[in-house]
């Protein structure tokens, strides 16, 4: 599983990447939102984490790009917001979770606080449960969903190619 983190702050990245590694994610860090936007289709992340304080205008743009891109619309987006900043929850610069299907907002606590870490960890746990349930669902042939390469190999074996 691949998680992409868009954050400038090193302490924030270390905290988030630690939680992501505990939930078995591979992590790629970006500090340039334009470069990330260009590479999203190739990366095909399973989670996008954006720190709103570092990139206040890019969270909504990236969420839109993911939602309306073929094959990327099921990628969850997690945006960390700071309650003490001049941008409140009713701001126009903040993406609305109701508009974007897989968007979650987590309130970032003060430096080193455990509250946002706990909230992010519970978010990742819920995400892992949802992913494992999706894997257990069956495809049209009644087979459990798995790797696309395995599915192609099975089709080739059936057709005798």
Helix (H, G, I), strand (E, B) or coil at 103: strand
Supply the DSSP string of 48-107, one letter for each residue.
EEEETTT-TTTHHHHHHHHHTSTTTTT--EEEEE-TTSS--TT-TTSPPTTTSTTEEEEE
Instruction: Write out the residue range of the structural domain in which residue 106 sits.
Output: 2-159
So what's the pLDDT on residue 114?
Answer: 64
Checking if the pLDDT of 32 tops 90, the result is: yes
The 10s digit of each residue's pLDDT in 49-76 is: 999 888 888 888 888 888 888 888 788 9
Q: What angle do CA 122, 22, 14 make, to 5 degrees?
A: 95
Per the structure block, which two tokens stand in for 78? 């997690």
So what's the pLDDT on residue 89?
Answer: 47
Which pLDDT band, with edges at 50, 70 and 90, does 86 fall under?
very low
Are 83 and 55 spatial neighbours (Cβ–Cβ below 8 Å)? no
The 10s digit of each residue's pLDDT in 97-113 is: 555 557 888 888 765 55
The 10s digit of each residue's pLDDT in 109-154 is: 765 556 678 888 888 888 887 777 666 654 555 555 556 667 777 7
Q: Which of 13-17, 86-90, 153-157 has the highest mean pLDDT?
A: 13-17
Checking if the pLDDT of 20 tops 50, the result is: yes
Order of strands, sheet of 77-81, starting from the edge strand that comes earlier in the sequence: 26-30, 2-6, 47-51, 77-81, 103-107
Checking if the pLDDT of 5 tops 90, the result is: yes
Per the structure block, which two tokens stand in for 76? 């969850």
CATH number at residue 85: 3.40.50.2300
Task: Tally the domains of the chain.
Answer: 1
Of 139 and 18, the structure prediction assigns the larger pLDDT to: 18
Are 132 and 149 spatial neighbours (Cβ–Cβ below 8 Å)? no
So what's the pLDDT on residue 88?
Answer: 44
């Amino acid at each position: 599983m691949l998680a992409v983190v868009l954050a400038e702050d090193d302490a924030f990245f270390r905290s988030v990447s630690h939680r992501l590694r505990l939930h078995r994610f591979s992590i790629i860090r970006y500090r340039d939102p334009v470069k990330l936007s260009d590479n999203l289709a190739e990366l095909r992340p399973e989670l996008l984490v954006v720190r709103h304080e570092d990139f206040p205008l890019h969270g909504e743009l990236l969420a839109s790009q993911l939602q309306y891109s073929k094959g990327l619309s099921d990628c969850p987006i997690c945006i960390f917001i700071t309650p003490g900043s001049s941008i409140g929850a009713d701001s126009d610069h903040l993406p609305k979770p109701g508009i974007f299907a897989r968007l979650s907002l987590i309130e970032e606590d003060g430096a080193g606080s455990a509250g946002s870490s706990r909230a992010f960890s519970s978010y990742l746990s819920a995400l892992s449960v949802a992913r494992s349930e999706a894997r257990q669902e069956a495809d049209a042939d009644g087979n459990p969903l798995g790797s696309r390469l395995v599915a192609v190999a099975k089709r080739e074996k059936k057709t005798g190619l």
